[in-house]
Structure 1
Amino acid sequence: MEEECFAICGSFIHSTDQAAVETLKNKCLGVKHGKIVFLDDTELVQDRLSEFGIPEENVLKLKEKQFVIPGFIDTHIHAPQYPNAGKGLDMGLLEWLEKYTFPTEMKFKDLKYASSTYRRVVSRVLKNGTTTACYFATIDTDATLLLCGIINDLGQRALVGKVNMNQNSPEYYMEHSVEESILETRRYIETINKRDYKYITAVVTPRFAISCCEELMKRLGQLAAEFNIPVQTHICESRAEVEFVSSLYPDCTSYADVYDKAGLLTDKTVLAHCIYLTEDEIELIKERGSAVSHCPNSNLSIRSGLLDVQKLLQQGVQVGLGTDVSGGYHPSILDAIRVAVHVSNSHAIIAANGYKSLSVRDAFRLATLEGAKALSLDTVVGNFEVGKEFDALLIDLDSPDSHVDVFDEDTLEDCLDKFLYTGDDRNIRAVYVGGRKVLDAENTYTQRNSLNNGLNGH
């Protein structure tokens, strides 16, 4: 089957602004040059194939227990922290950073180590159905450029940031001047722009207000404006962090105000965690059009807190889901969907006043369409609207060793719910990005270029 000119006939499930889940049965979806060119009833397939010049041999007919969903979108993940997944989770945030995170991230100055590790994390994340990821890398520019090369080779869509940090960090792992940090960030952005990757965007990435001085954050805000690129950072993840930021920036009214004064709150900003936002901060974030990345596994694993997602959504704040590897120990957005529901259920139990928690279908929308909105990609991906690029997962509930049992009375909606709660990567039989199959049923990657060179992309 020609990778960028084909059609799929069967069942499709996606989210819209009107419905958390829309099921489309007996449909045929056509893809040409990576984009969805039609989505119509199967009885019209011959007309549509003729209209768009798609050969009949390029039509895939799904089996009974198969369906297609949009690719998952991870709005917050630390690629270099993957070796630590599942380690050190008995600690609080700041202690965990000192003992586990910073020493591991320092290792990425070794480009051979970086190449091996980054290939493993991107492969693992793709295998779990994440077609778009918003990555933190490290402070090392060359290692971050190498990560981008590997992502490009494996075919994932991504936002990737070289991390900035010049204070309150270990001497062995920090940038030692504002000028150094800005020069290296500019070199990174300009190099990415010159490479002209189809699916990779540079993103300005101050780690958080504790590790960046005021001047550095302002200069980073200027860079983001100059290149018109996104911003990602952390905010209000733990009480101790909020108190520390307050002591560092006494002239600012809040944590969010620190970023706002630096020009870092824009309509292309993604803020991870946001557990302890004040009402004024919520209103400021909404006014600026910034988005929130909800990372429920991480928030529970290192006991940071319980984000009230429903409150943010009701107040009009954009929210997507993140794994936050390795504060979150699982690289799958399926885990984020499940834990997001559990956290929301916890709020309902505590409130005991008719609080309506997230359903698993609400979380599915956060993982797809709302994640695309959070990353300003909703005109490109997120659901199966005609004209968008085909980023998708072929789900098979009858795949070998599947943990999902389907019964005769189960509807298509039931099958989705069962996959979201009990499925895993074994049910993901193909992963498509921009209409190209980047992972097939045997978990074999179709790479853009050879990966024989360990430093490919550097």
Structure 2
Amino acid sequence: MGEPLQDMHMPDGVGPGSLNANKLFLGNFVHSKTREELEYLHSAGVFVDTTGVIVAIEPECDLAKAREHVFPRLGWESEHVQVVACKPGQFFFPGFIDTHIHASQYPNAGIFGKSTLLDWLNTYTFPLEASLSDLNKARRVYTACVRRTLSHGTTTSAYYATIDVAATNLLADICLALGQRAFIGRVCMDHADLCPSYYRDESPAASLAAARASIAHIRTIDPDFSLISPILTPRFAPSCTSDSLRGLAALHAETDLPIQTHISENLPEIDLVRSLFPGSSSYAAVYDDHGLLTPRTVLAHAVHLSDEEADLVARRGAKVSHCPASNSALTSGTARVRRLWERGVEVGLGTDVSGGYSPSVLEAARQASLVSRHVAMGLAEGKNRETAKLTAEEVLFLATRGGARVLGLDDAVGGFEVGKQWDAQLVGLAVVDDMGETETHDGKGGDDAGNVDIFGWETWEERIAKWLFNGDDRNTKMVWVRGRLVHSRQ
């Protein structure tokens, strides 16, 4: 990782990623207040204790005010406080939350071929995933994936690994070491007719035993699941036998661990599910009939859910991960986020690497906006057409608070409030000077400044919109998880 930004005040002997120092963040803070509204806090101070929790937020706060009034109230000593202050063009934003990503597919990002979902799985996905039983290869892939997602401001990821226990455990170890909050899923897939012979669980019992083994490992490295949590992961209904699905449901009932899987991604998949589970009335009913549709269930895609299925998902309290880039890349369809919201379903964003071509949640947010416009264009003229479109505020909600709700983290992360953990990113936009040159106030300009040019006359709403539609990892200057600096760019 890079060196800390030069505007950081560092007490002697205390590094930027240290967990043994209190921290003060000064400047501009932007976060979702509601789905429809971003809140802008200017010239504010956010105080984060040694556990990574926000303990105070002060308006109109500078270092002098903090030292004179706030530090004594908190019992802090000035010489032991790290201070990070925004420069012009910079603001703090909550860390992004990726509710659906296949770490094991990261090398294939952008290689989604010319075929359908099921063909793509057999051609690209299963061979790559199976090869990660080579732990040296898995270490290269997983380390690169975690570092890349952190560089894009992703502080939490819900990862699919592979069926291999050792490789799955390695992903958990890497996330813990690099400091990313993560849900780690050992993929369960045991259907002999649908899964390749070289890449499947031997039996429902073997699948369940492997899931337990991975859970046990994560418990040894993070006993309270405070940063790394297991997540039960039936790949999708066609890959699992009924016995396997019921076994995972029983494990969920025993442990209350979250569940992640896929649902209604494309039409041929839905037809396949119908043929494999004729006793269930729908794809959603398959999971419900097997005990897997719960308040802790994350359903990726949900492109073609019927009204009845959406209502069932809402009644069970299950959540949806919207993966717009993947749905477009694999020609799966256009998911209707507002329709899900209106039926009471919580929604977050997923990059779905590698069906999705980018590990950036910001890219997923802009694609969510664009896909919603395609949904609107498919509707008749009138009010419904306009309301189908998602605003900049709404897609950034999906990327932060929405994802936190989907993963059961809404009390911990997703915004800037006292009691929440400091999972955040410092975003820097290039300021254009009188000569038309750009600089980022961290000594970098030109191409490294990124694609977002700020001229000074933009409102804050306009700045955020420009970042949403033009930003990339060059704008992500620093990233923290639970108060620990986990990425910096200079």
TM-score normalised by the chain length of structure 1: 0.94
Q: Which residue of 2 aligns with 1:269?
A: 297
1:132 deviation in Å?
A: 0.2
* 3-state DSSP of counterpart to 1:421: helix
Alpha-carbon distance in 1 for matches of 2:35, 2:114: 41
Q: Which residue of 1 aligns with 2:121?
A: 97
* 3-state DSSP of counterpart to 1:109: coil
Q: Which residue of 2 aligns with 1:63?
A: 87
Equivalent of 1:144, from 168, 172, 176?
Answer: 168
1:358 deviation in Å?
A: 0.1
1:373 maps to 2:401: no
Equivalent of 1:226, from 254, 260, 264?
Answer: 254
Q: Which residue of 1 aligns with 2:196?
A: 170
Q: Which residue of 2 aligns with 1:31?
A: 48
Q: Deviations over 1:379-424 (max 9, x none)?
A: 0100001100000000111333221111121122222111111111
Q: Which residue of 1 aligns with 2:149?
A: 125
Matched-pair contact (CA < 8 Å) for 1:9–1:42: no
Please, what is the CA RMSD of the aligned residues?
1.3
Matched-pair contact (CA < 8 Å) for 2:252–2:258: yes
1:390 maps to 2:435: no
Q: Which residue of 2 aligns with 1:195?
A: 221
1:280 deviation in Å?
A: 1.2
Q: Deviations over 1:319-377 (max 9, x none)?
A: 00000000001000011011100010111122132221101221000000010000000
1:431 maps to 2:462: no
Alpha-carbon distance in 2 for matches of 1:85, 1:265: 29
* 3-state DSSP of counterpart to 1:58: strand
* 3-state DSSP of counterpart to 1:297: helix
The structure number with the bigger radius of gyration is 2
Equivalent of 2:382, from 346, 349, 353?
Answer: 353
Counterpart amino acid of residue 39 in structure 1: I
TM-score normalised by the chain length of structure 2: 0.88
Structure 2's unaligned 5+ residue stretches are 1-9, 431-439
Counterpart amino acid of residue 247 in structure 2: R
Equivalent of 2:242, from 214, 232, 244?
Answer: 214
Matched-pair contact (CA < 8 Å) for 1:6–1:54: no
Equivalent of 1:333, from 357, 361, 377?
Answer: 361
Alpha-carbon distance in 1 for matches of 2:23, 2:72: 12
Counterpart amino acid of residue 71 in structure 2: L
Alpha-carbon distance in 2 for matches of 1:54, 1:307: 51
Matched-pair contact (CA < 8 Å) for 1:23–1:413: no
1:58 deviation in Å?
A: 2.4
Alpha-carbon distance in 1 for matches of 2:460, 2:112: 40
Alpha-carbon distance in 1 for matches of 2:35, 2:246: 39
Counterpart amino acid of residue 374 in structure 2: S
Alpha-carbon distance in 2 for matches of 1:372, 1:108: 29
* 3-state DSSP of counterpart to 2:237: coil
Q: Which residue of 2 aligns with 1:454?
A: none
% identical aligned pairs: 44
1:40 maps to 2:72: no
1:48 deviation in Å?
A: 1.5
Matched-pair contact (CA < 8 Å) for 2:25–2:85: yes
Structure 1's unaligned 5+ residue stretches are 443-458
Alpha-carbon distance in 2 for matches of 1:396, 1:434: 21
In the comparison of the two structures, how many residue pairs are matched? 442
Alpha-carbon distance in 1 for matches of 2:77, 2:213: 43
Matched-pair contact (CA < 8 Å) for 1:20–1:364: no
Counterpart amino acid of residue 427 in structure 1: N
Matched-pair contact (CA < 8 Å) for 2:48–2:54: yes
Alpha-carbon distance in 1 for matches of 2:215, 2:172: 11
Counterpart amino acid of residue 61 in structure 1: A
Alpha-carbon distance in 1 for matches of 2:199, 2:86: 50
Alpha-carbon distance in 2 for matches of 1:58, 1:67: 17
